[in-house]
Amino acid sequence: MADWITGASGFLGQHLVKYFPVAMTTRPDLRQRGEVFEVVRRIKPQRVVHLAYPGSRGIATSVEEPLSLAADLLRIDTNVIEICAQEGVGKLLCLGSVCGYPEHTLQPTRESELWDGYPEPVNAAYGCAKRMQWVLLQAARQQYGLNGIHLILANLYGPGDRSGHVIPSLIRKIRTAQREGGPVVVWGHPDVTRSFLYVEDAAEGIWRAMERYNSPEPLNLCSTEEVTMVDLVTHLTGLLEYTGPVTFDTSKPTGHRRRRFSTDRLATALEWLPTTPLAVGLAAMVDWALTETV
Any residues with CB less than 8 A from the CB of 276 and at least 6 apart, and which?
Answer: 198, 200, 201, 223
CA distances to 3, 16, 30, 102, 221 from 42, rounded to whole Å, are 12, 22, 15, 40, 31
How many CB atoms lie under 10 A from the CB of residue 142? 10
Residues 97 and 157: their CA atoms lie apart, in Å, by: 14
- 126, 157, 198, 242: the active-site residue: 126
The DSSP bridge pattern shows strands 193-194 and 147-153 to be unpaired
Q: Which long-range contacts (CB under 8 A, 24 or more apart) does 68-74 make?
A: 69/125, 69/126, 69/129, 70/125, 70/126, 70/128, 70/129, 72/31, 73/126, 73/129, 73/130, 73/133, 74/129, 74/132
Establish whether 242 is a catalytic residue. no
The helix (run of H) or strand (run of E) holding residue 150 is strand 147-153
The C-alpha atoms of residue 280 and residue 199 are separated, in whole angstroms, by: 12
Alpha-carbon gap, residue 102 to 83, rounded angstroms = 30
Smallest CA-to-CA distance from 72 within 89, 49, 56, 88 is with 56
- The residues that are catalytic are 126
